[in-house]
Structures are given as C-alpha cells and as structure tokens.
Chains A and B, each alone.
Chain A
C-alpha cells in the first residue's frame, strides 16, 4: 500500500438522521474517512455511536423514513488503477446500486439470520447471487457455491447446499455468510460486528478465516466492532467513533500507543488486559450523549477530564497530529502526554 494508491472508498461529511418523536437523531453527524485497497479499517465506538448506521448508509440500506441521508459523499472506485472512473454510492441510481451491492461491495451482519433467508436452501441463496452478478448458469453456480463453502471450512459442503440456515450452528452460519459475501470477489467488505454473538473460540475461527480470505482476494474490509482486542489483531488502521463522528483515525499501532483524543485514551484505559495481572481499570465517567440532543462543542466534553471552556463551545475538527494520524481534540497534545506517562 503506497501513498499514491487511490482509495477504493472516500467518505466525506456523511450525515444520516432519524426523525423521531424525540426530535432529530443525528446518528451520523459528519463522518469523513478513506479506505485503501486491500486494507482492513477497524471502526470502534460504543453502542449508539453510529457505526451500523454509517455502514448501512453507504449502501443506502437504512429505513427511509424515519431515516434520511442528509448529505455527504461516498466515492467508490471499482478499479483503483483508474482513479477517475468512480461513482458516488449516495447518488447512483437504484438499479446501478443493486449491481454494486453484494457484487463490488458486500456486507456481513452481526446476526446472520437477518441476512440469510430462513425458508430458502443455503445453496440457492448463494447460487442466486452468482447467477445474478457473475452470469453463471445453474450448474456452474452450484459447483462454485460448493467450492466456496468448502473454502470457508464447512465440513460437508455439498450436503450443506441442500440444508437450511437454522440447521447450522452460529459459527457455521457465519461461515456461510462469509462465503456469500465473498462469492463475487468484492472490492469492499463491510463487516458489522461479524462475530459478536459467537463464543471466543468460534470467534477466533471465524475471524482468522475472514482475515485469510480477504487477504487472498485483496478485499478491503471495514471491520466494525466494540472489541479493542479484535481491532488490535486485525486492523491496519483504526477509526474511533463517538456520537456520530470520527474523533480519531490512524495506523493501529499509533492509535493504541499514541492516542491523541481523550475518548480513545479513556477507552484504552477502561479495558482490562488478558496478559496483565490484577490491575486497576479506569472507567470513563458518565454516559454517552443523547444523539437527539448533542452538546454544542465537543460531544465528549461532558465526560472528559481534559475539557476546558473551548471544548464546550467549539466543535473540534479532525486535524493531522502525525503522519496519517488525525484527531479531533482541542487538547490532543495533553492527551498524548497523559498517555505516554
């Protein structure tokens, strides 16, 4: 990955809201990031910070109404060697978007049953996509589907084709999801908490598989999770979200070793480590803000131990703090100093 490669995806100022009785919920409130070809970008943040809504917005899969994509751009480049040939996922006409979905940009969800059809045989669900996007005939598609299931480690792939999703364990279902997601060699895979519902030993099986296959196919992955360990293991770069925005983004090692945003630092201090003996964990006090009533300045200010008047008044912009590393914090230097202590 050299700096000269054009991103496969450039998201700028994405804004998605839900209009509810409680008012406008600004679920994604100005999100900007790039995704480079073949890289894994981890997105972390607490519940309600807008991770899923952001991913769903990119494929225009949020329920409208009550949701609405209010603005921004998501420039997708199917071929990074031809940077000029690109399209805005938020603007392309529906038929074209349907061709992109599942083909160029695939998605895996936390709960496999939401994306597997319970009354359709597993084989039919995969061959359908292959016939639609790759123009294979039925026999070719079936052979390809069996090969894919085999590749994701399903013990008896041919028998599995004729089974139904409920007959599989959670781990096996998630493998089927991976097979389906990768069947058309997508440029981008959006993986939203792909293993959160699974046990740790099964989670490890599935994530290792996902990492290996996407490396083989050169697929760029957006890995959404609240597990800082998973991100540390699999992500090349990390984006930390808080209240609908990116508060920090950078190379994984830099985020963990040299955090520049108070929320990132707080998050790191609040998780115990498996490899450290009895330790004091330092919680972040307070609770995340109500997305229907975001504070005017930095959304983290009410919980932040570094906050001063400027934080409560002026919303910090994402700024370069280091090579390829940005943070949106008025006191980034102090945070780094505290982290290095």
Chain B
C-alpha cells in the first residue's frame, strides 16, 4: 500500500519514502535452545512519504512504535519487511558526496560501507541528552568524532567543530568541557551539533524535548526550526506532546499499536480530526487557558492500551473506541483519503465529515 501524498505547493520533492514497513521483535523462550514463541509487532505496516524541507510529526502514546519506526527507517533496527527509499535531493550533493550518485536507494538493501556512506544523509537526535553523549569525551571531541567517522580531513576538523558548536548556540570556548558540566538543554544542543556535523538531509528527532524543562523546550524548538531554514533539513519529529507537534509540523501522522490511523496536514488534523482515536487523544490534552479549558468537553477513553504482542483483530482500536460497531470487530478498516491529503483508517470516519 503506497500512500499518494497531497501535491501541496508547500512541500518539496519526496525525500524519504516508507513502504509497508514492518518491524517485529521476536519473543524467545527456552533455557538451552531459544525458540521464538511470539512477536511484538512494534511496527506493523507503515507507509508514508516525507518531502524535502518538511517536518513530519509522528504522535501516539507510549509503546505505539514511534521510536521503533524511527530506528527502522534509519536502519538502526533492520526492518522485518518493507522498504525505505532515500531519494536524491534536487540540488543535493554539492559537497561531492557520492551517496546518491545513481539516484534513489532503498536503505533496507544497503550493507557495510555503502550504508555508512548514506548514513551521512540520515541522522538521529535522541530523547535523553544524558544517555546519548559519552561522559568521558569532551563535547568538542563528541562532535569531532562524528566528523572522523564520516572521514573529514583532520585539519578542517577543529575549525568545523567550533563552527558547529556556534551554530547550535554553544560557545566554542566550551569545547573542552565534559557533558556533565552542561545543563540538559545545552547537552541537547551538543547532540544536535553532532547530528549536523555530517550535513544530513534527513533527521529523526525522537522526543528531543521530553527530558527538558518547559522554558528550555521552546529554545530547542526554535533552534530546530532555525536550522531547518538554514540548512534545508527534513525532520521526522517524534513526540507525545501534541501541542508542540502542531507548532512545528507540516503534516502529522497518528500511530496506534504499530499502525498509522490518521495522516493529514497539521492544521486539518487538529481542526478536524476524523479518527476517533485522534479525537480522544486531542481532547485529552488540556489547553493552557482556564477560560477555554473549562468549557471543553472531553472524550475519556476507557481501558488501557492493549499489548502489541496480541493486538485486537480487525480495527485495533475497537475495544476502546466509543463508536465501534460490529464491522469494526470483523474487518480491517481501509486507508482512505477523505479530504485532499487527509487519510484515515476507520469504518465510521466519513460520518464525521460535515
């Protein structure tokens, strides 16, 4: 199933194309001989296209598979099935990197040296700035290492490190300090500098704010947007903070139990959500304004999120869905475009159209 994307004038050429991506974690049992007894279907058939220069938001509750999806796209986990295409950028490769000389590549087919070359174009920013930086290296060293791995000349390195730190708002004079001497927000800036070191096109930002304080989160959001404008970056922005995702994303996809249930331009998704799960998710987020908040009605979902080991059949949301009917328990809902660029997988979604 390939999703044709809206030909919005806002969006550039397709850069990343995900086709029916699956990632199942084996569950093994046995003392001497381990046998696979089941599979956690963490990502179970994702298809979408991310365009050059776009911020594509991916939201959903804990365990729905966001991180796994991001890692499978970057080939940090090898997908169980599916394809991830990286297309050449119209004006890319000005620095003579041969990564995409022959046109589009399917990342899932790459191995070894070839994969490492292409990795320069696809990078990740992690949630926890504590855990993702080596505590025994200086921040300058951390950024320089990324340059070394990707084979930049030594004499250029020092200058480039200073430039990168400056770009993310850290004084190059602090290059010799260690991560623990920095605040959470500053550490996240170092993580961003490390990702930028190799001049990526596409960056997966996995919950880049959730370890940070509210007032610091806004600093990092603004930095990411500035960098996007400056270097024409494309982001997959993973977060469970729906308000932040609205503020930064061009389009947003909502995941539930390993699948995307709704995908739409950001404003459309928030103004007129068509899937009952999206509706419940949005109504659960309180708005920082007492006058508005006290007038708001809420859809309170009952029950917990089922285990991805054994997802409910047919529509995976049916056991928590406030409007489920018989067909929801019997048939997979089809993925349909109900408005231009607005896709949803729900048997009853068209009833929401006004």
Q: Does A287 contact B216, Cβ atoms closer than 8 Å?
A: yes
Q: Which one, A81-89, A177-185, A267-275, is touching chain B?
A: A267-275
Q: Mark B38-81, 1 if CB is under 8 A from A, else 0.
A: 00000000000000000000000110000000000000000000
What residues of A have a CB within 8 angstroms of the CB of B302 in the complex? 205
Q: Which one, A72-80, A90-98, A99-107, A277-285, is touching chain B?
A: A277-285
Q: Does A277 contact B267, Cβ atoms closer than 8 Å?
A: yes
Assess whether A115 is interfacial by the CB under 8 Å rule. no
* Closest residue of A by beta carbon distance from B283: A204
What residues of A have a CB within 8 angstroms of the CB of B62 in the complex? 199
Assess whether B149 is interfacial by the CB under 8 Å rule. no
* Closest residue of A by beta carbon distance from B270: A274
> Which residues in chain B, 221-255, are within 8 Å of chain A measured between CB atoms?
221-222, 240, 242-244, 246-248
A292 vs B222: C-alpha distance when bound (angstroms): 30
A226 vs B284: C-alpha distance when bound (angstroms): 17
What residues of A have a CB within 8 angstroms of the CB of B304 in the complex? 169, 171-172, 202
Q: Which secondary structure dominates where chain B touches chain A?
A: helix
What residues of B have a CB within 8 angstroms of the CB of A277 in the complex? 246, 266-267, 270
* Closest residue of A by beta carbon distance from B212: A47
* Closest residue of B by beta carbon distance from A205: B300
> Chain B nearest CB: distance from A284 CB in Å?
4
What residues of A have a CB within 8 angstroms of the CB of B351 in the complex? none
Assess whether B166 is interfacial by the CB under 8 Å rule. no
- From known contacts A201-B280, A281-B222, infer whether A232 and B300 are also in contact, taking CB-CB under 8 Å: no
A224 vs B84: C-alpha distance when bound (angstroms): 44
Q: Does B244 contact A272, Cβ atoms closer than 8 Å?
A: yes
> Chain B nearest CB: distance from A236 CB in Å?
9
Q: Which one, B86-94, B122-130, B157-165, B291-299, is touching chain A?
A: B291-299
Assess whether A233 is interfacial by the CB under 8 Å rule. yes
A199 vs B300: C-alpha distance when bound (angstroms): 13
Assess whether A140 is interfacial by the CB under 8 Å rule. no
Contact of A271 among B219, B243, B248, B293 (CB under 8 A): B243
Q: Does B298 contact A204, Cβ atoms closer than 8 Å?
A: yes
Assess whether A200 is interfacial by the CB under 8 Å rule. yes
Q: Does B290 contact A270, Cβ atoms closer than 8 Å?
A: no
* Closest residue of B by beta carbon distance from A168: B304
Q: Does B288 contact A229, Cβ atoms closer than 8 Å?
A: yes
Q: Does B215 contact A267, Cβ atoms closer than 8 Å?
A: yes
Contact of A275 among B284, B292, B301 (CB under 8 A): B292
- From known contacts A272-B246, A274-B243, infer whether A267 and B222 are also in contact, taking CB-CB under 8 Å: no
Assess whether B338 is interfacial by the CB under 8 Å rule. no
What residues of B have a CB within 8 angstroms of the CB of A205 in the complex? 300-302
> Chain B nearest CB: distance from A203 CB in Å?
7
> Which residues in chain A, 141-181, are within 8 Å of chain B measured between CB atoms?
169, 171-172
Contact of A199 among B61, B266, B283 (CB under 8 A): B61
Assess whether B350 is interfacial by the CB under 8 Å rule. no
Assess whether A213 is interfacial by the CB under 8 Å rule. no
What residues of B have a CB within 8 angstroms of the CB of A266 in the complex? 215
* Closest residue of A by beta carbon distance from B291: A253
A112 vs B213: C-alpha distance when bound (angstroms): 22
Q: Does A46 contact B213, Cβ atoms closer than 8 Å?
A: yes
What residues of A have a CB within 8 angstroms of the CB of B305 in the complex? 199
* Closest residue of A by beta carbon distance from B225: A280
* Closest residue of B by beta carbon distance from A282: B218
Q: Does B215 contact A278, Cβ atoms closer than 8 Å?
A: no
Q: Does A226 contact B285, Cβ atoms closer than 8 Å?
A: no
Q: Does A278 contact B288, Cβ atoms closer than 8 Å?
A: no
Assess whether A257 is interfacial by the CB under 8 Å rule. yes
A232 vs B291: C-alpha distance when bound (angstroms): 8
What residues of A have a CB within 8 angstroms of the CB of B221 in the complex? 272, 281, 283
Q: Does A233 contact B300, Cβ atoms closer than 8 Å?
A: no
> Which residues in chain A, 19-78, are within 8 Å of chain B measured between CB atoms?
46-47
Q: Does A283 contact B219, Cβ atoms closer than 8 Å?
A: yes
- From known contacts A226-B214, A273-B243, infer whether A232 and B290 are also in contact, taking CB-CB under 8 Å: yes
A285 vs B288: C-alpha distance when bound (angstroms): 21
- From known contacts A172-B304, A199-B61, A201-B301, infer whether A271 and B218 are also in contact, taking CB-CB under 8 Å: yes
Q: Does B214 contact A267, Cβ atoms closer than 8 Å?
A: yes
Contact of B284 among A171, A204, A283, A287 (CB under 8 A): A204
Assess whether B281 is interfacial by the CB under 8 Å rule. yes
Assess whether B174 is interfacial by the CB under 8 Å rule. no
What residues of A have a CB within 8 angstroms of the CB of B217 in the complex? 270, 283
* Closest residue of B by beta carbon distance from A172: B304
Assess whether B289 is interfacial by the CB under 8 Å rule. yes
> Chain B nearest CB: distance from A237 CB in Å?
11
A282 vs B214: C-alpha distance when bound (angstroms): 11
Assess whether B258 is interfacial by the CB under 8 Å rule. no
Assess whether A208 is interfacial by the CB under 8 Å rule. yes
What residues of A have a CB within 8 angstroms of the CB of B243 in the complex? 229, 271-274
- From known contacts A199-B240, A270-B215, A271-B243, infer whether A229 and B286 are also in contact, taking CB-CB under 8 Å: yes
> Chain A nearest CB: distance from B2 CB in Å?
28
Assess whether A230 is interfacial by the CB under 8 Å rule. yes
What residues of B have a CB within 8 angstroms of the CB of A172 in the complex? 304
Would you mind naming 14 contact pairs between A and B with Cβ atoms under 8 Å apart? A47-B213, A199-B305, A201-B281, A205-B300, A226-B214, A229-B288, A256-B289, A270-B217, A271-B243, A272-B246, A274-B270, A275-B292, A277-B270, A283-B218
8 other A-B residue contacts (CB within 8 Å) besides A46-B215, A228-B288, A233-B293: A200-B285, A232-B288, A271-B243, A272-B243, A274-B287, A277-B266, A283-B222, A284-B219
